[in-house]
């Protein structure tokens, strides 16, 4: 199979991808450009690395990596796609076997739920939701938190598997998450969270719809009141510059404590970008960035495509 391109993109509960003016315009235009490129390439599959925000994966049993090898269902949070999604089980199973042979031990899910961390980029890049996906969840909310170097090497193993897949076709890898932002913590090890929240993070699967409704209501109220989030623009731009120069060593050397300090609780999600870049194994070709306080996130988008495909 040909690995024809990569997209790394931020997601946000607050986003609006309608054509618009203002702080988000640079980011939204970049996503539209990526969508247009993917439409021309017409890939057979999107391999999407992304986090889960404790809607499908809980800390009663949290894997560092999980590959969806069977049915995949969108949760539908924040108006993202809900219900069954198209999949590519042959490629997913091939990737799983290949990365295990390469020394990684991901969890496998034959009935995987995904939230806006994976479904927002899917809807942005394939609005008709017709392109099959292979979702790969990377733990980014609390331990286990694989190191950035481990994520890069894991992504490289995924990229090698995609290229070795004998079924033919074209794939695009997508990394979804970050950049800097600080939503409420979802780590059960965080001493600042309430006992009620901690119990939900570990044992909340039976009451996830009720808890999610409360989270979305709170989020909408904060936005309506003009709530914004801290964004580390300097750090975000440094990351994107490293990705475009292919200078990943200083990024991969960042430890979890430094990542939390510089990128916030949501900055942990750059693991997904790192894995996608590992799969691509080359620098990004384009980089766009918008710090959007009302979306509480530094919104970045990187792309690279095979020259004959772009």
Active site residues: 116, 181
130, exposed or middle or buried, with CB in 10 Å at 0-12, 13-18, 19+?
A: exposed
**Listed residue (134, 139, 232, 219) closest to 174, CA to CA:** 134
Instruction: Please say whether the dihedral angle defined by the alpha carbons of residues 28, 285, 66 and 68, taken in this order, is positive or negative.
Output: positive
Cα separation, 269 vs 237, whole angstroms: 16
Residue 144: is the preceding peptide bond cis (ω within 30°)?
A: yes
Query: Nearest 5°: phi and psi at 32?
Result: -60, -40
Do 58 and 51 contact (CB within 8 A), yes or no? no
């Amino acid at each position: 199979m040909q690995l024809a391109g990569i997209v790394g993109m931020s997601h946000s509960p607050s986003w609006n991808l309608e054509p618009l003016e203002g702080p988000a315009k640079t980011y939204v235009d970049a996503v539209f450009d990526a969508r247009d490129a993917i439409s021309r390439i017409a890939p057979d599959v999107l391999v999407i690395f992304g986090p889960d925000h404790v809607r499908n994966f809980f800390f009663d049993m949290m894997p560092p990596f999980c590959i969806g090898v069977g049915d995949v269902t969108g949760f539908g949070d924040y108006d993202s796609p809900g219900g069954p999604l198209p999949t590519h089980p042959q490629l997913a199973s091939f990737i799983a076997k290949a990365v295990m042979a390469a020394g990684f031990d991901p969890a496998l899910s034959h009935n995987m739920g995904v939230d806006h961390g994976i479904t927002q980029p899917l809807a942005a890049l394939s609005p008709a939701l017709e392109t099959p996906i292979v979702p790969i969840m990377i733990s980014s909310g609390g331990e286990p938190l694989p190191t950035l170097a481990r994520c890069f090497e894991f992504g490289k193993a995924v990229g090698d598997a995609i290229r070795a897949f004998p079924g033919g076709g074209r794939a695009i890898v997508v990394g979804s998450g970050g950049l800097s932002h600080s939503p409420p913590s979802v780590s059960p090890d965080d001493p600042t969270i309430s006992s009620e929240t901690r119990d939900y993070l570990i044992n909340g699967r039976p009451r996830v719809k009720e808890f999610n409704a409360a989270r979305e209501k709170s989020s909408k109220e904060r936005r309506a009141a003009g709530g914004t989030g801290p964004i580390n623009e300097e750090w975000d731009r440094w990351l994107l510059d490293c990705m475009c120069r292919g200078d990943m060593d200083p990024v991969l050397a960042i430890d979890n404590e430094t990542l939390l300090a510089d990128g916030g609780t949501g900055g942990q999600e750059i693991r997904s970008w790192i894995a996608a870049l590992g799969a691509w194994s080359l620098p990004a070709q384009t980089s766009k960035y918008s710090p959007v306080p009302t979306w509480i996130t530094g919104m970045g988008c990187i792309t690279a495509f095979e020259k004959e495909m772009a």
